[in-house]
Chains A and B, each alone.
Chain A
Amino acid sequence: MIPVALKRINRQMCVRLSFFALLMFGFGYAMVPYYKKFCEVTGINNLLQRDTVVNTQVDKSRWVTLEFDANVHGMPWQFAPVQRSVRVHPGEMTQVAFDIKNNGNNTLVGQAIPSYGPKHSAAFVKKLECFCFKQQVLAAGESRQMPVQFVVDGSLPASVTTLTLSYTFFEVPAADKKVTSGSAG
């Protein structure tokens, strides 16, 4: 039926194409570090990194209200902001605090993930210090007060007068305690 020589060529091609398929499987995984690097370099999604503030000019003519929201996802932790909201001028350095307590019976590791409202305001809230920059380890019954230091960027559109900064604590699975908190994509 199929000559032996052709069979050999066919088999070679099969091996090459299978290798290519395997390579593309690897490519899918290669997108993970590439994506993280891309986000880091372009600063698209650096929620968990320290921002730098270049222009510290305080704009006394404007007021912006920041509201704080605290949530816990599936952990026996109690988590709340000390102040529900603050009024600040754009460019003004402000520090607020959050209370956290582990009501469970075990030591747990949590990671807070910030999110912002309105949708695209993440770029305007520059965090200089935040408990979300690293994982928090709380022993059973332990409590702590944690600071957030930020500046609202002066380029915030004038139509925006209220911003919401919301944190959610997620449990860091035991198998993955080593994950660095600084480089989330």
Chain B
Amino acid sequence: MSAKDNKDSPYIAFHQSVKFTFDGVKYKGFKGDTIASALIRNNIKIIGRSFKYHRPRGIYTCGIEEPNALVQILSEYSEPNTRATVKQIYEGLKIESQNRWPSLENDLSSVNNLLSPLFSAGFYNKTFMKPRGFWKKVYEPLIRKAAGLGKPPKPFKTKSTQLHHHVDIVIVGGGLSGLLAAKSLAKTKLKVLLIEQDSYLGGILKNSNKISTIESKDRASWIKDVETEIEYSKNIKVLKNTLATTYNYINYLIAIEDLTTGMMPLEGHADQILHKIRADHIILANGHIERLISFRNNDLPGIMLAGSFEKYIQRYGVIPNISPVIFSNNSSSFSLIKILIDLNCKPQAYVDSRSGDKIESSLLDIIHKENIPLFTNAHVEGCDGKKQVEEISIRDSEGIITKLKSKMLCISGGFNPDVHLFTQSKGVLTWDDKYLTFKPSKSFQNTIVIGSAGGLFQYSKLANDIDSKLSFLNHEPIVNINFELNESDNYSIEKLWETKHEKKSRWSKSFIDLQNDVTTKDLRQGIREGFDRIEHLKRFTTNSMGTDQGKISSINALGIVSEILNKKVSEVGTTIYRPPYAPLSFASIAGRSTYNFYDPERKTSIHEWHKKNGAVFENVGQWKRPWYFQSYLEENLDQAVQREALQIRKYAGVLDGSTLGKIEIKGSDALEFMNLMYTNNFSKMKPMSARYALMLGEDGMIMDDGIISKINDNHFIATTTTGGAAKVLSHMEEFSQTEWPHLNVFMNSITEQFCTFNISGPKTRLIMEKVFKHIKFDNESFPFMTFNNFTYLDSTIRILRASFTGELGYEIYVRPSIALKLWEDLFRFGKDEGLIAYGTETMHLLRAEKGYIIVGQDTDGSVTPQDMDLEWMIGKSKKDFIGKRSLTRSDTIRSDRKQLVGIKPINQKNIIEEGQHIILSSNVKPPVKMLGHVTSSYMSPNLGHSFGMAVIKDGKNLIGSRAYVSSSSRDAYEVEIMKSVFIDDENKRLVS
């Protein structure tokens, strides 16, 4: 029997056909169809192959709970594992089946099914232990190749976006309960968000025939009226095509909205929104999920949950089969039988595990009236068929098997409240003996569960349930709601987790977890092997571990385990339903935070000049700093740095040092504060002079360095390293507020208020005199380490005479609005003097030639000022400063600590590598005694050879001796240990 359209469904546009391809074959569906409903309409039964055994699999459900029908969407960057039961088709959609080769019909890996007796639970753990060496090279690559269902998508730039919400109430689920709750809140002042995963509101009203009328209206009219009422309310926002996936602490909900439901994603438009929602209260009205029954070959294509079968008829306008066999252990099938009969179809048979006296009279009446073969107190023993259901075996109470030829079996094993979100919120569940399921018991957060999500399966009690739970919100009570039902309002169920089956062959299986190919036999084996705790058993068998998290089977597994262990299900407990409820793409999680938005970028005010003038940038924290400037397109880092370094020592260069941290410190106790924060003594320092200063941690280790400019005893300006700016400011704030609150001192960051240009080189004075004609730069007027304020373009600038290259140099502090003009002026007047712009790499080279350290490169948080040969910076007469006590600890005064030295290769052709070990001999066979390591190394065009800085144990005493440097690519080579200053040891250039 084939599928048939139900053109009464208002949700499918039967006038609008949509063409798509599945495994390269063209098919036609209608606007509004999911992939699954469209394939059913085209009588396609096999959609994919199972995970482990590669058994053919069809469409089992009609929603997010689908374990089988996962497909690859070739049209959308080859997105894998897309649920065919959710994804809507659009014109030109290309779909491919997964986990098969070479084709879905003939999958070579289906040999796994024949070998299945080998692949029992724990197969991987037991099989791949020996030989030990095989794991990395043989087993793991093979397993990795075989793992997974779909193929990874092609690289693409995410078009997902994100949206934050802050609301009073979120209602999850726009079904009957959700709509009633929303309606009752429509006249309140509460800000409400209603989330519905489908394109239409209505839930069970839209998906089934169970309710005939509500408030004396037909279902569609009632939904429309309520939706209109909600639309007119100003306080309720409805998000359709939106699935709540994660319920975090505190009432923080994640939901994903599909913006392209039923349409091709458009370039330049977002295709999904990840909603991040904070709510005061969350109302879970997300309904229930039907569960399966385990029997022999219960995975064959053609087997479908009964509720899903009805949903295809009502919601998607397709009758999957006009004469299915129905197998149930509960009272829910009446509406399915009725709608089939109303549509001139008729079930081939009805099988109920309950005895006749327990079956509802209304159900029996319709079955008898329509002459539907009835099997009571009977089970489906199993199904047979090559690639789909062909024959169904029914065992009656006396054990007699009746075989029916049929291609469709609808099963209903009962219903579970959809508790995934509730348990994610850390709510507590309780076992319901009447409905044989776990249901929400105690909320951990501000969570309200209503309707069937809360375990209420009686429509007549729904209004009272909602009213009582929402009364604290001062909602409008739901009164006079009446239902006309197509099924009994007294839902009943009989326990049936698995039917007893005949052993037909070794390859017949009774599945409990369809997605992970876990059988009921695996559960038994696991328990036999000692995994009798449900969490252990889950991991041993992989039951409920798939992306569907066992939505239609986990309770059955608990039921089977409870029977094996002879315990109550409530004693067995549940496993944890982990977020997300359904898979989220990484693209949706990343949102727009990719490529240029991956991390905020900081740019200096003259960034564009650098770009236009050949700068190649490096990331320093979030800053973009010119690394080097290309003088021609092909010039590489080494070439540029060699050129820049030579030019600066001979002429002049200017560096954009705007990224350096700058802090203004002021207060009547500023001097005392600075003396405590830094090792230096600023008491005798003259106003308008500057000093290189060290900041230590309480452990006495170097934390940061910079230049302190003293305006007067109450007012200082400190510079910090680029990376240390925020840290130093908060360090100062912390000590000012917590340790020395008695000091009157305040500090503000002025890093961004001023650009800093560091100009240096022998021609610098000449250039400065041309740019600032009114300022005298001779040694007497402007000595080394002094500063002053001047006027430039009617604005105040500050010039400090200091240098980090070892050459004559000045630092100019200028406001961003005139920074570019000044920078260009420097070049206008400096061009003839050989001025160039240089980057951070050349700056590093030049400072190393002069023996200046970089905190964070030559220090690593474990070196003291003494280790760095900076003892002279410690104000010994000071009473105290941060880290002082630590500098006299026995460990910090050891003479054999690692100390800073310079090194140069004996064979000057050798290039020293940064980070390499300093060792005693060229014999590098382990164990090697290591003296220290290279902290900085460069090829110096000014020295004509490579050189480095290193921290070496007892380094000061080793100056003049030789050691070896290890190498990643060749033998260790000899170096001379020397003082770390390579150029201008006497500071003649600096003070020239």
Q: Are A and B subunits of one complex?
A: no
Name A's B-contacting residues (CB within 8 A). none
Name B's A-contacting residues (CB within 8 A). none
